[in-house]
Amino acid sequence: MQANYEKKNRRPYAVLAIFLVAIAGLGGQLANLTLAQQDQYLSRADSQSTRTISTPAPRGIIYDRNMQPMADNRPAFRLLINYPYYQDEVVIERLALLLDRRADDIQKLVERQSDRPFEPVILTEDLSQTQYAKIQERKQELPGVEVVSNPVRRYPLTALAGHMLGYVGTPGKDGTIHGKAGLEAVYDGVLQGEPGKREVAVNSAFEPLGVVGTTQPKPGQNLVLTIDARLQQVTERALDWQIHRLQTVMNIGDQRVYQNARAGAAVVMDVKTGAILAMASRPGFDPNQFIGGISQADWDKLNNDTRIPLLDRTVAAAYHPGSTWKMLSGAAAVTSGVTTPAERVFSGKVYAPTGQRDWVPGGHGWVDLVNALRLSSNIYFYEMGLRMGVDKQVEFAKAFGFGSLTGVDLDGEVSGVLPDAAYRAAHDWYDGQAATSAIGQIFTVTPIQLARYVTALANGGKLLKPYLVQEVRSATGDVVKQTAPEEVGKLPISDATLQYLIQGMKLVNSPTGTSDFAQWPLPGIATAGKTGTAENPPQDDYGLYVGFAPADNPQIAVAAVIEQAGHGGSVSPVARTVWAEYFGVELPKNDPARVPDTFQPATVPAAAPVKR
């Protein structure tokens, strides 16, 4: 009885204890919410009362070496529509009418942003003046629609250096524009600025109430190139002019025209530094076509063109070097000890070990190294190729910088092909092909590799890294970074051997040589060069030319190729046009390298206006 009584009396205390523990727990949770998690919940509340809108920053300007803008920005207007108005069909219909677009197209833009609800939708980056006037006139009927300033990329020299400069794409999710090709892509992180911000107050329905704070965007850094815009223009016109002549003027040597000569490339390099002064790829394109999004018609035109206008042939196309390779083969033969510069080899109708013929039906007779270069004797170099074997040729090709990337600051560069052991294992190979390799018919190289190669011959054997950007500058003009010339190797040949090669190259451009300099020397300036013809059965052969000037005090080197030009001599006028501009020399009126002022090339597709 006593026990039951005590048990009943303890019950209220137990209930009270449970109640007190519950109160303590609730108090602790309240303290946690008000103190420990205060910042988190305040931040969440703030995020629901304001929205941050990114303001695009101007991309950095790309200048040529003389501070002429090659890529800059122009003022424009971006059209936005805010939440929840982009869900209003009436507003969408009105906008479609004013922009001359389909409402469905605008709706698709909204749907693409479904992963970022409540953020403004960008309808266009670049309102036309007519569209801007219409929007402003009917502003009261377009709730939630904003027009904000927006720097738009521009290429003021239109198609000039299109491959090198590259182009930009449409804005990303944060409204930032990114480079998609060329220097715009390689230096995208440098050219991009820091976007600004607009803090916009919104109500509980996420409707904008007004701007409560702004942070100004910071422009990107600028690039100063090694390129001379004027020399770039001359180089491009030189290529266009020679392609035009090949298609329309009968070649004196074989009495025919070359209508399939429709593409090519040229690289101009400072022989002392490796700085690129001009580089051209044909056909070209106008990067302005890509601003704001390329039209389907222009995209189809570029992609369906069999000449492949978007391919940068200076770095991304590999060619057989033809006889431009013979300086390398001659250097390798002398250095490896299989011949001497004075040894003479008989060049007759047929090279007996392989049954191959020279390009001259009767051969060239007895020739040493210098005259084998002057006359471009195939049989001399067939003999050297067999004496060395292919492995020795590959070894020297690597030492001359072939088979690897030059490291130029462009995307898409390829390394070319060397007939090394792996290549030979994958192809039907026979020993006689060592002879063919020595005249440049199996190796493949890029125009920029050829330019570096002839630059090294001109500067005493220094293998330089080619570069396009000489300075990075801040938006205020301060120099942030400078590019110094970089020697990446040394040609493995003696100075004496190098002088034999140069003597042969001088004679190539003499009255008895294989280039058209024989008939049209550069007035007042001695030059050195080498022609090359790369076999391309069953189509017409490719023509190549490498050279430097002045011959006795070299300053600039040129490498050029024109596809299906038939002969290397048909390409050498490109170099003469470039040198004449660089040295301020006036060419005779009837010189095939003199480009008429009235010449209008038809190789670059014109940009069609983008419908917005």
Amino acid identity of residue 158, one-letter, is: T
133, 268: one domain: no
Residue 71 lies in a domain: no
State residue 206's pLDDT score: 66
Kindly report the average pLDDT of the chain as a whole number: 90
Inside any domain, residue 570: yes
> Is 21 domain-assigned?
no
What phi, psi does 213 have (nearest 5°)?
-175, 150
CA–CA distance, 121 with 460 (Å, rounded to integer): 60
Q: Examine the pLDDT at 42 and tell me if it is beyond 50.
A: no
Residue 595 has pLDDT above 70, yes or no: yes
* pLDDT for the residue numbered 489: 97
Domains of the chain: total: 2
Whole-number Å distance between alpha carbons of 545 and 505: 11
DSSP assignment letter at 484: P
Q: What are the tens digits of pLDDT across the range 490-523?
A: 999 999 999 999 999 999 999 999 999 989 999 9
Q: Does one domain contain both 244 and 369?
A: yes
Interatomic CA distance for residues 382 and 372, integer angstroms: 11
Q: Are residues 233 and 362 in the same domain?
A: yes
Residue 605, pLDDT > 50, answer no
Q: Which residue has the higher pLDDT, 118 or 599?
A: 599
Based on the fold, state whether residues 268 and 131 are members of the same structural domain: no
In a domain, 218, yes or no: no
CATH of the domain at 488: 3.40.710.10
Indicate if 347 and 489 belong to the same structural domain.
Answer: yes
- Please check whether residue 1 lies inside any domain of the structure: no
Q: Are 321 and 445 in contact (CB under 8 A)?
A: yes
Identify whether 84 is preceded by a cis peptide bond (ω within 30 of 0): yes
User: Is pLDDT above 70 for 232?
Assistant: yes
Spatial CB neighbours of 21, under 8 Å, sequence gap ≥ 6: none
N-to-C CA span, the chain: 96
pLDDT at 367 over 50: yes
Residues 282, 428 within the same domain:
yes
Q: Nearest 5°: CA angle at 130, between 128 and 132?
A: 70
Peptide bond into 523 cis (omega under 30): no
Whether omega before 538 lies within 30 degrees of 0, making that bond cis, reads: yes
Claim to verify: residue 142 and residue 233 sit in the same structural domain: no
What is the per-residue pLDDT for 3? 47
Examine residue 222 and state whether it is found in any structural domain, yes or no: no
Distance CA 173, CA 577 (A): 47
pLDDT of the residue at 253: 79
Query: Which tokens in the block code for residue 64?
Result: 């040529």
For residue 562, what are the contacts with CB-CB under 8 A and spacing of at least 6?
239, 242, 243, 246, 261, 263, 264, 542, 543, 570, 571, 574
What length does the chain have? 612
Same domain, 259 and 367: yes
233 & 134 share domain: no
Task: Quote the radius of gyration of the chain (alpha carbons, Å).
Answer: 34
Q: What is the pLDDT of residues 270-321, one digit of tens each?
A: 999 999 999 999 999 999 999 988 889 999 999 999 999 999 999 999 999 9
Segment 7-14 shows an average pLDDT of: 51
pLDDT value, residue 2? 46
Task: Specify whether 285 is located in the same domain as 140.
Answer: no
Spell out the residues 6+ positions from residue 499 whose beta carbon is closer than 8 angstroms to its own.
none
Model confidence, pTM: 0.88
Q: What's the average model confidence in pLDDT over 264-268? A: 98
Do the bridges between strand 196-202 and strand 69-81 make them parallel or antiparallel, or are there none, so unpaired? unpaired
Q: 87: domain range?
A: 82-101+121-146
pLDDT bracket for residue 176 (50, 70, 90): confident
In a domain, 179, yes or no: no
145-154/69-81 β-pairing: antiparallel
Give the per-residue pLDDT at 116: 73
Chain centre distance of CA 46 = 45
Give a yes or no: residue 77 inside a domain.
no
Same structural domain for residues 235 and 138?
no
- Give the DSSP H or E segment for 81: strand 69-81
For the ranges 102-116, 200-214, 243-257, 595-609, the lowest mean pLDDT is seen at: 595-609
Shared-domain flag, residues 135 and 233: no
